[in-house]
Structure 1
Amino acid sequence: MRVLIIDDEEDTREIAKMSLSLLGGLDVIEAENGAHGIEVASKERPDVILLDMMMPIMDGPSTLEALRTNEATQNIPVIFLTAKAMTTEIEKLKRMGATGVLTKPFDPTTLAQQVQAILEA
Protein backbone atom coordinates (compact mmCIF):
# COMPACT_ATOMS: atom_id res chain seq x y z
CA MET A 1 0.00 0.00 0.00
CA ARG A 2 1.21 3.49 -0.86
CA VAL A 3 0.75 6.33 1.66
CA LEU A 4 1.12 10.07 1.03
CA ILE A 5 1.96 12.13 4.13
CA ILE A 6 1.09 15.82 3.81
CA ASP A 7 2.52 17.73 6.78
CA ASP A 8 4.51 20.94 7.07
CA GLU A 9 6.61 19.59 9.95
CA GLU A 10 9.57 17.65 8.59
CA ASP A 11 10.06 15.78 11.89
CA THR A 12 6.47 14.53 11.84
CA ARG A 13 6.81 13.39 8.22
CA GLU A 14 10.08 11.61 9.00
CA ILE A 15 8.72 9.79 12.06
CA ALA A 16 5.56 8.77 10.21
CA LYS A 17 7.58 7.65 7.19
CA MET A 18 9.91 5.49 9.30
CA SER A 19 6.98 4.05 11.23
CA LEU A 20 4.90 3.22 8.17
CA SER A 21 7.75 1.91 6.03
CA LEU A 22 9.90 0.07 8.58
CA LEU A 23 7.20 -1.23 10.92
CA GLY A 24 4.27 -1.37 8.51
CA GLY A 25 6.02 -2.33 5.27
CA LEU A 26 4.24 0.48 3.41
CA ASP A 27 5.52 2.62 0.54
CA VAL A 28 5.58 6.26 1.70
CA ILE A 29 5.75 9.51 -0.27
CA GLU A 30 5.74 13.02 1.22
CA ALA A 31 4.57 16.58 0.63
CA GLU A 32 5.37 19.60 2.80
CA ASN A 33 2.11 21.52 2.28
CA GLY A 34 -1.40 21.16 0.94
CA ALA A 35 -0.75 22.64 -2.50
CA HIS A 36 2.22 20.33 -3.08
CA GLY A 37 0.23 17.43 -1.63
CA ILE A 38 -2.53 17.88 -4.20
CA GLU A 39 0.06 17.80 -6.99
CA VAL A 40 1.71 14.68 -5.61
CA ALA A 41 -1.63 12.93 -5.02
CA SER A 42 -2.79 13.67 -8.58
CA LYS A 43 0.43 12.32 -10.04
CA GLU A 44 1.20 9.40 -7.71
CA ARG A 45 -2.35 8.23 -6.86
CA PRO A 46 -1.60 6.93 -3.33
CA ASP A 47 -3.88 4.39 -1.64
CA VAL A 48 -4.35 6.66 1.38
CA ILE A 49 -3.38 10.19 2.44
CA LEU A 50 -2.36 11.24 5.96
CA LEU A 51 -3.16 14.95 6.13
CA ASP A 52 -2.07 17.46 8.76
CA MET A 53 -4.83 19.74 9.98
CA MET A 54 -2.91 23.00 10.44
CA MET A 55 -0.41 24.04 7.78
CA PRO A 56 0.65 27.29 6.12
CA ILE A 57 -0.29 28.03 2.49
CA MET A 58 -3.23 25.59 2.53
CA ASP A 59 -4.65 24.05 5.71
CA GLY A 60 -5.93 20.49 5.98
CA PRO A 61 -9.64 21.18 5.42
CA SER A 62 -8.89 23.30 2.33
CA THR A 63 -6.62 20.57 1.02
CA LEU A 64 -9.31 17.93 1.60
CA GLU A 65 -11.86 20.06 -0.23
CA ALA A 66 -9.50 20.39 -3.22
CA LEU A 67 -8.76 16.65 -3.18
CA ARG A 68 -12.48 15.85 -3.18
CA THR A 69 -13.18 18.11 -6.17
CA ASN A 70 -10.30 16.69 -8.25
CA GLU A 71 -11.37 13.70 -10.34
CA ALA A 72 -7.95 12.07 -9.94
CA THR A 73 -8.01 12.23 -6.13
CA GLN A 74 -11.67 12.38 -5.10
CA ASN A 75 -11.87 8.73 -4.00
CA ILE A 76 -8.55 8.46 -2.14
CA PRO A 77 -9.17 7.88 1.59
CA VAL A 78 -7.90 10.80 3.71
CA ILE A 79 -6.97 10.43 7.39
CA PHE A 80 -6.37 13.65 9.31
CA LEU A 81 -3.50 14.03 11.75
CA THR A 82 -4.46 16.60 14.38
CA ALA A 83 -3.83 17.69 17.94
CA LYS A 84 -7.44 18.92 18.07
CA ALA A 85 -9.30 15.63 18.36
CA MET A 86 -12.51 16.82 19.98
CA THR A 87 -15.60 14.81 19.04
CA THR A 88 -17.27 17.77 17.31
CA GLU A 89 -14.14 18.43 15.24
CA ILE A 90 -13.85 14.76 14.23
CA GLU A 91 -17.51 14.67 13.17
CA LYS A 92 -17.05 17.87 11.14
CA LEU A 93 -14.00 16.44 9.32
CA LYS A 94 -15.86 13.23 8.52
CA ARG A 95 -18.79 15.22 7.12
CA MET A 96 -16.26 17.00 4.88
CA GLY A 97 -15.15 13.64 3.49
CA ALA A 98 -12.36 12.48 5.80
CA THR A 99 -12.12 8.73 6.27
CA GLY A 100 -10.77 9.06 9.80
CA VAL A 101 -8.80 11.11 12.31
CA LEU A 102 -5.64 10.25 14.25
CA THR A 103 -4.38 12.37 17.12
CA LYS A 104 -0.95 13.97 17.27
CA PRO A 105 1.36 13.08 18.73
CA PHE A 106 0.77 9.59 17.36
CA ASP A 107 2.44 6.40 18.55
CA PRO A 108 4.99 5.43 15.87
CA THR A 109 4.87 1.78 16.95
CA THR A 110 1.16 1.49 16.12
CA LEU A 111 0.65 4.06 13.34
CA ALA A 112 0.51 1.48 10.52
CA GLN A 113 -2.05 -0.60 12.43
CA GLN A 114 -4.15 2.49 13.19
CA VAL A 115 -4.19 3.48 9.51
CA GLN A 116 -5.15 -0.07 8.50
CA ALA A 117 -7.93 -0.19 11.12
CA ILE A 118 -9.44 3.07 9.85
CA LEU A 119 -9.34 1.84 6.25
CA GLU A 120 -11.00 -1.46 7.20
CA ALA A 121 -13.76 0.16 9.31
Structure 2
Amino acid sequence: MNAPDSPQRILIIDDESDLRFLARLALEPLGAEIRELDNAVNALAEIRSFKPDLVILDIMLPGGIDGLQLCQAIKFDPQTAKIKVFLLSAKGQLTDIDAGKRAGADQYIVKPFSPQGLLETVKNSWKD
Protein backbone atom coordinates (compact mmCIF):
# COMPACT_ATOMS: atom_id res chain seq x y z
CA MET A 1 0.00 0.00 0.00
CA ASN A 2 1.12 3.52 -0.69
CA ALA A 3 1.96 6.14 1.91
CA PRO A 4 -1.11 8.14 3.04
CA ASP A 5 0.09 11.33 1.30
CA SER A 6 0.91 9.67 -2.02
CA PRO A 7 -1.71 9.34 -4.77
CA GLN A 8 -3.76 6.18 -4.71
CA ARG A 9 -3.16 3.64 -7.46
CA ILE A 10 -5.94 1.85 -9.29
CA LEU A 11 -5.68 -1.00 -11.80
CA ILE A 12 -8.72 -1.59 -14.02
CA ILE A 13 -8.86 -5.02 -15.66
CA ASP A 14 -11.63 -5.48 -18.21
CA ASP A 15 -11.62 -6.69 -21.80
CA GLU A 16 -14.13 -4.00 -22.83
CA SER A 17 -12.26 -0.78 -23.68
CA ASP A 18 -15.45 1.32 -23.37
CA LEU A 19 -15.98 0.07 -19.84
CA ARG A 20 -12.36 0.76 -18.87
CA PHE A 21 -12.75 4.26 -20.29
CA LEU A 22 -15.98 4.84 -18.33
CA ALA A 23 -14.42 3.59 -15.09
CA ARG A 24 -11.31 5.75 -15.64
CA LEU A 25 -13.47 8.80 -16.34
CA ALA A 26 -15.54 8.18 -13.21
CA LEU A 27 -12.44 7.82 -11.02
CA GLU A 28 -10.36 10.69 -12.40
CA PRO A 29 -11.66 13.16 -9.77
CA LEU A 30 -9.78 11.10 -7.16
CA GLY A 31 -6.42 12.13 -8.64
CA ALA A 32 -5.33 8.50 -8.51
CA GLU A 33 -2.77 6.95 -10.81
CA ILE A 34 -4.82 4.63 -13.01
CA ARG A 35 -3.59 1.83 -15.24
CA GLU A 36 -5.58 -0.56 -17.41
CA LEU A 37 -5.27 -4.14 -18.63
CA ASP A 38 -7.55 -5.98 -21.04
CA ASN A 39 -6.91 -9.50 -19.68
CA ALA A 40 -5.74 -11.31 -16.56
CA VAL A 41 -2.82 -13.19 -18.10
CA ASN A 42 -0.07 -10.76 -17.02
CA ALA A 43 -2.09 -9.15 -14.26
CA LEU A 44 -0.20 -10.62 -11.29
CA ALA A 45 3.12 -9.35 -12.64
CA GLU A 46 1.56 -5.91 -13.20
CA ILE A 47 0.05 -5.93 -9.71
CA ARG A 48 3.40 -6.78 -8.12
CA SER A 49 5.22 -4.02 -10.03
CA PHE A 50 2.52 -1.29 -9.95
CA LYS A 51 1.41 -2.04 -6.36
CA PRO A 52 -2.17 -0.77 -6.73
CA ASP A 53 -4.34 0.07 -3.75
CA LEU A 54 -7.40 -1.10 -5.66
CA VAL A 55 -8.02 -3.54 -8.51
CA ILE A 56 -11.31 -3.18 -10.37
CA LEU A 57 -11.76 -6.52 -12.03
CA ASP A 58 -14.20 -7.95 -14.55
CA ILE A 59 -15.14 -11.58 -13.93
CA MET A 60 -15.43 -12.72 -17.54
CA LEU A 61 -11.99 -12.22 -19.08
CA PRO A 62 -10.22 -13.81 -22.06
CA GLY A 63 -7.00 -15.76 -21.75
CA GLY A 64 -7.85 -18.71 -19.54
CA ILE A 65 -7.85 -16.88 -16.19
CA ASP A 66 -11.14 -15.37 -15.10
CA GLY A 67 -11.69 -12.59 -12.60
CA LEU A 68 -12.66 -14.91 -9.76
CA GLN A 69 -9.42 -16.88 -10.15
CA LEU A 70 -7.38 -13.68 -10.27
CA CYS A 71 -9.20 -12.28 -7.23
CA GLN A 72 -8.36 -15.44 -5.28
CA ALA A 73 -4.73 -15.24 -6.39
CA ILE A 74 -4.52 -11.62 -5.20
CA LYS A 75 -6.26 -12.22 -1.88
CA PHE A 76 -4.48 -15.45 -0.97
CA ASP A 77 -0.96 -14.15 -1.70
CA PRO A 78 0.54 -12.49 1.40
CA GLN A 79 2.32 -9.93 -0.82
CA THR A 80 -0.93 -8.70 -2.39
CA ALA A 81 -3.63 -9.71 0.10
CA LYS A 82 -4.22 -6.16 1.40
CA ILE A 83 -5.08 -4.81 -2.05
CA LYS A 84 -8.79 -4.06 -2.31
CA VAL A 85 -10.50 -5.94 -5.14
CA PHE A 86 -13.82 -4.79 -6.59
CA LEU A 87 -15.40 -7.30 -8.94
CA LEU A 88 -17.36 -5.75 -11.79
CA SER A 89 -19.68 -8.10 -13.63
CA ALA A 90 -22.81 -8.45 -15.70
CA LYS A 91 -23.49 -11.54 -13.58
CA GLY A 92 -25.74 -10.26 -10.82
CA GLN A 93 -27.39 -13.36 -9.38
CA LEU A 94 -27.02 -14.08 -5.68
CA THR A 95 -24.92 -17.16 -6.49
CA ASP A 96 -22.54 -14.96 -8.53
CA ILE A 97 -22.20 -12.43 -5.72
CA ASP A 98 -21.58 -15.26 -3.23
CA ALA A 99 -18.87 -16.66 -5.52
CA GLY A 100 -17.25 -13.22 -5.53
CA LYS A 101 -17.27 -13.09 -1.74
CA ARG A 102 -15.77 -16.58 -1.54
CA ALA A 103 -13.01 -15.43 -3.92
CA GLY A 104 -12.20 -12.64 -1.46
CA ALA A 105 -13.69 -9.62 -3.24
CA ASP A 106 -14.13 -6.48 -1.14
CA GLN A 107 -17.03 -5.28 -3.31
CA TYR A 108 -19.20 -6.73 -6.05
CA ILE A 109 -20.58 -4.20 -8.53
CA VAL A 110 -23.12 -5.29 -11.14
CA LYS A 111 -22.94 -3.92 -14.70
CA PRO A 112 -24.24 -1.65 -15.94
CA PHE A 113 -22.97 0.49 -13.10
CA SER A 114 -23.40 4.12 -12.20
CA PRO A 115 -20.12 6.03 -12.67
CA GLN A 116 -21.02 8.26 -9.70
CA GLY A 117 -21.85 5.15 -7.67
CA LEU A 118 -18.46 3.63 -8.53
CA LEU A 119 -16.70 6.85 -7.48
CA GLU A 120 -18.59 6.94 -4.16
CA THR A 121 -17.91 3.25 -3.49
CA VAL A 122 -14.18 3.77 -4.05
CA LYS A 123 -14.13 6.93 -1.90
CA ASN A 124 -15.93 5.13 0.92
CA SER A 125 -13.58 2.13 0.73
CA TRP A 126 -10.56 4.41 1.21
CA LYS A 127 -12.04 5.75 4.45
CA ASP A 128 -11.85 2.25 5.99
In which range does the TM-score fall when normalised by the shorter chain? 0.7 to 0.9
Partner residue of 2:59? 53
Q: Deviations over 1:23-74 (max 9, x none)?
A: 3333211111112222211111111110001011121011112223434322
Larger helix proportion, structure 1 or 2?
Answer: 1
Q: Distance in 2 between matches of 1:49 and 1:118?
A: 12
Equivalent in the alignment of 2:48: 42
Amino acid at match of 1:33: N
User: What residue identity is the alignment partner of 2:111?
Assistant: K
Conserved in 1, the CA contact under 8 Å of 2:12 and 2:37? yes
Alpha-carbon RMSD across the aligned residues, in angstroms, is 1.8
Aligned equivalent of 2:93: 86
Task: After TM superposition, give the deviation of residue 5 of structure 1 in Å.
Answer: 0.4
Moved over 6 A (4+): none
Distance 1:86 1:61 in 2: 15
- The residue number in structure 1 matching 2:4 is none
SS of residue matched to 1:34: coil
CA distance in 2, matches of 1:26, 1:52: 20
Shift of 1:112: 1.1
For the structure 1 residues 110 and 24, does the alpha-carbon distance in structure 2 shift closer, same or farther, using more than 3 Å as the test? farther
Q: Which structure 2 residue ranges, 5 or more long, are not aligned?
A: 1-7
Q: Specify the SS of the correspondent of 1:110.
A: helix
Answer with 1 or 2: which has the greater Rg.
2
Listed as ranges, the gaps of 5+ residues in structure 1 are none
1:1-121 to 2 correspondence within 5 Å?
A: 1-21=8-28, 23-57=29-63, 58-118=65-125, 120=127
Q: TM-score, normalised by structure 1?
A: 0.87
CA shift, 1:118, in A, is 4.5
